[in-house]
């Protein structure tokens, strides 16, 4: 293979070129969080997303945590609430909310 150096064991572990290391991370919640943030962008003031808990790929606690990390990363202000059946998400930077 032209241009590739052989991977040489270094101690107990193998080595790899830094250029082979993936940048960024797409965690297991990436799809649902991306969908929620996308829907929030087009959400009218005074409305919230009403997401059935049964459609979430993980617990509501873990989804809320992932959502807050992603919102912070994108400088968004979102709020959440839950009841026994739904996760509610809205843009919290709206006036009066």
Over 50: is that where the pLDDT of 21 sits? yes
Per-residue pLDDT of 35-92, as tens digits, reads: 999 999 989 999 999 999 999 999 999 999 999 999 999 999 999 999 999 999 999 9
Domains parsed from the chain with CATH numbers? 27-91 (3.30.1370)
DSSP at 32:
H
- Report the b/e string of 15-44 with b at 16+ CB within 10 A: eeeeeeeeeeeeeebeebbeebbeebeeee
User: How far, rounded to the nearest angstrom, does the alpha carbon of residue 67 sit from its chain's CA centroid?
Assistant: 6
Residue 26 banded pLDDT, cuts 50, 70, 90? confident
Among candidates 25, 28, 26, which has minimal Cα distance to 56?
A: 28
Q: pTM, whole model, 2 decimals?
A: 0.71
In the predicted structure, residue 19 carries a pLDDT above the cut 90: no
């Amino acid at each position: 293979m032209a241009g590739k150096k052989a991977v040489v064991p270094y101690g107990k572990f193998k080595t790899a070129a830094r250029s082979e290391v993936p940048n960024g991370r797409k965690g297991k919640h990436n799809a649902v969080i991306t969908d929620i943030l996308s829907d929030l962008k087009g959400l009218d003031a005074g409305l919230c997303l009403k997401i059935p808990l049964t459609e979430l790929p993980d617990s509501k606690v873990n989804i809320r945590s992932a959502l807050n990390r992603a919102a912070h990363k994108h400088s968004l202000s979102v709020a959440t609430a839950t009841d026994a059946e739904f996760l509610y998400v809205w843009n919290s930077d709206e006036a009066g909310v």
